[in-house]
Amino acid sequence: MKKCVIIMNPNSGKKKKITTYQGLYDILRNYGYDTDIIFTKEKGDAKRIIQAIDQSVSLVISAGGDGTLNEIVAGNLLRTKPLTIAPLPLGSTNDVGNMLGLDEDVYHNLENILRGKAKKIDICYINETPFVYVACLGDYVDMAFDTPRELKEKYGNMAYVIYGIKQMKNKINSYNIRFKVNGKEYEGQYSMIFISNSSRIAGQPDLYNEVKLDDSKFEVALANPKTRKEFLRLLAKIDTMDITEITEIAHYQTDHFEIKFIDLPKTSWCIDGEEYKEKTDTFVFRVEQNMKMQIPKENIQNLFEE
């Protein structure tokens, strides 16, 4: 019998309905897996747990939010031979899970994962720190990691909107930057910077029409709304248009992006919904394809080239 380990964050976002853990064990046993569930207790546990898992384990399931998945990916990449992983979304936003076609039904999601296929996926890096689907910088991105847990547990994804409205201010900080992409150098002023490998970010679906998870590329988007009004107007456009069609957004697809801030950023980067602090004025982004993820069959054709 194959071996599966579920790394579960019991505090992820709005509680999904798991009536019994026995249901998870039963489903996995039907697919030939003997299963252990290991619960995280604090930040960093998921990263440490996967590093210690025996190499004989066939599948590691990340049961939590996008931040839990980020930790598992980071720990997995520190292994000599990374294990195959799969996301089982339990968080508030679950951008990765939703992109892959997973929904609110935990048991149905698990069945879809196990019927799926292990695919090599692109993993992005910011200064050698891996992230799964997004790294972003700007005045309001801190909603992802600053929104109180009690709000997320009560309201789910709407908690970020509620908290964000309370934090909104009229003037938005912007940054003078120099950046290099696709062999060309640019300079400008921007208040919002997004590096992503996803068609869905912050609960917003279909941001890009043609994102592939195995093309060794990622997307770069830069914009400069200066006031709350301009920011909300830009959000309205993002809600109805592909980012690549919005003239206020500079967009690039690349495998390498370098950015230098003339002054240190006033806020932290957010990577996969978690705060990323590094006191430097220079950030280098790259992409590698060095691990496998078990993907539901339904979206493989849309999200993968091969």
Given this model, what pLDDT does residue 286 score?
98
Given this model, what pLDDT does residue 143 score?
55
Q: How far apart are CA 92 and CA 154, in angstroms?
A: 10
**Domain range for residue 259?**
129-289
Residue 119 in 3-state DSSP?
Answer: strand
Residues 112 and 191 in one domain: no
Residues 147 and 19 in one domain: no
Tell me the whole-structure pTM to 2 decimals: 0.88
Residues 282 and 133 in one domain: yes
Residues 297 and 241 in one domain: no
Residues 141 and 185 in one domain: yes
Given this model, what pLDDT does residue 132 score?
94
Q: What are the per-10-residue average pLDDT scores of the chain (306 residues)?
A: 95 66 95 97 96 97 94 97 96 84 92 96 96 89 56 54 56 92 96 92 77 95 91 86 91 97 86 87 96 92 86
Cβ atoms of 73 and 123 within 8 Å: the answer is yes
Given this model, what pLDDT does residue 202 score?
74
Pairing mode, if any, of strands 59-64 and 2-8?
A: parallel
Given this model, what pLDDT does residue 122 score?
97
Given this model, what pLDDT does residue 144 score?
53
Q: How far apart are CA 296 and CA 187, in angstroms?
A: 41
CATH of the domain at 7: 3.40.50.10330
Residues 151 and 112 in one domain: no
Given this model, what pLDDT does residue 110 score?
96
**What's the domain count of the chain?**
2
Residues 73 and 197 in one domain: no
Q: Please give the C-alpha separations between residue 15 and each of 91, 101, 111, 114, 255, in angstroms, as whole numbers.
A: 7, 19, 20, 22, 37
Residues 141 and 206 in one domain: yes
Residues 61 and 180 in one domain: no
Given this model, what pLDDT does residue 77 score?
97
Under DSSP, the state recorded for 15 is P
Cβ atoms of 276 and 70 within 8 Å: the answer is no
CATH of the domain at 182: 2.60.200.40
Residues 162 and 61 in one domain: no
Residues 69 and 160 in one domain: no
Residues 230 and 113 in one domain: no
